Amino acid sequence: MENTVLKIGELATRSGLTVRALHHYDDIGLLKPSARADSGYRLYNRDDVERLHKIQALRKFGMSLADIGTFLASPDAQFADIVAQQIAALDQQIKQASALRERLSLLQRQMPSDAAPALEDWLGALEHMKLYEQYFTPEELRRLPFWQQSARRNANWRAMVNELTSLMARGVSPDSEQASALSQRWMETLEHDTATNPAFAHRMTLMLQQEQSEGRRSPVTEEMRHYIGAAFNARKMALYAKYLDEDEMRYLRANSRKHTDEWILLFIKVHQQMEQGVAPEDPASQALAQEWMRLFHARAGSNPATQDKIRHAHEVEPELLKGTWVSQDTIAWIRQALAACTRA
């Protein structure tokens, strides 16, 4: 085809494109014919056909016409760079499609299967998803059991919320055995459903507070959280009372719920250090351990004998740590960091 030229209709037939598409390529300067017949017909030679072949090949990679024009206009352009760009674009599309699929799957699980959801159901589910996405990254949501919205989990939480509502409506004290047992189940379930991650639990609390501040309906109110907190603390105090005398318990009760916000932030920082594999001997780890001891002394007092009793209680009463986002591994890590402080 060295000396052969093709009219636009012939090139359209041979290439599988439409005449209209070739007109468009000409208009935007992507593929201009090398010549025109006296009658005005566009004529394409071998070089034009070769360029069209490159255009079609690049289109199959998903490149836009504008990007193809830029690439062909740059003789030094590296094709490998173009391929890398297209792979990155595909990765982004896959990521967006995966996020959309997760949203739709969650929406499907939230809706009753035996009836068409009402408008309020749709809007509530969409607001719920949007709120989660304000506080958690897509990767974090995949690790967060709460996000999965299983029917069994939802039923379990509904039952606990109903039980709590009943206790509060009947004026049952947080110190009661019923409230105590419920608080333990509640906190252990919450710990599990936040992937035993104190940062996730903290963000869930902030999320609920935002819901209420914006006037949205929330299944768990501030009053309910305070009730559970009081019941959970009373349960812990009853366990500590097996090991401490009256004066020690009086001090512990007076100080056990002080510095709560500081403890939460410290738990989060320690968990992050451990999750990232930072050694207890690291200076940052030692600083966290020293902060831990400062708060522990504020809570338990400065008497070493009392402190030893509390440590012993933690060792022999596993329930003291359940639902607290603190494990024996956490305590062991803190002790190693404190030992490093002593050696320094």
Q: How far is CA 35 from the centre of its chain?
A: 59
Tell me the chain's radius of gyration from C-alpha atoms: 33
Question: CATH assignment of 6-72?
Answer: 1.10.1660.10
Which residues, 6 or more positions from 289, have their beta carbon under 8 angstroms from its beta carbon? Answer: 280, 334, 337, 338, 340, 341
Helix H or strand E segment including 295: helix 283-300
Per-residue pLDDT of the chain (344 residues; tens, 9 = 90+): 455 889 999 999 998 899 999 999 999 999 999 999 888 889 999 999 989 988 888 887 778 898 888 888 876 666 666 667 667 766 776 776 666 566 666 666 655 555 555 555 545 556 667 788 889 998 898 899 988 767 788 889 999 999 999 999 999 999 999 999 999 999 999 999 999 999 999 999 998 888 788 777 678 889 999 999 999 999 999 999 999 999 999 999 999 999 999 999 999 999 999 999 999 999 999 999 999 999 999 999 999 999 999 999 999 999 999 999 999 999 999 999 999 998 86
The domain limits of the chain are 6-72, 81-240, 259-344
Backbone angles phi, psi at 43, to 5 degrees: -125, 135
Q: What pTM does this model have?
A: 0.68
Q: How far are the Cα atoms of 35, 177, 187 from residue 168, in angstroms, in the given order?
A: 88, 14, 17
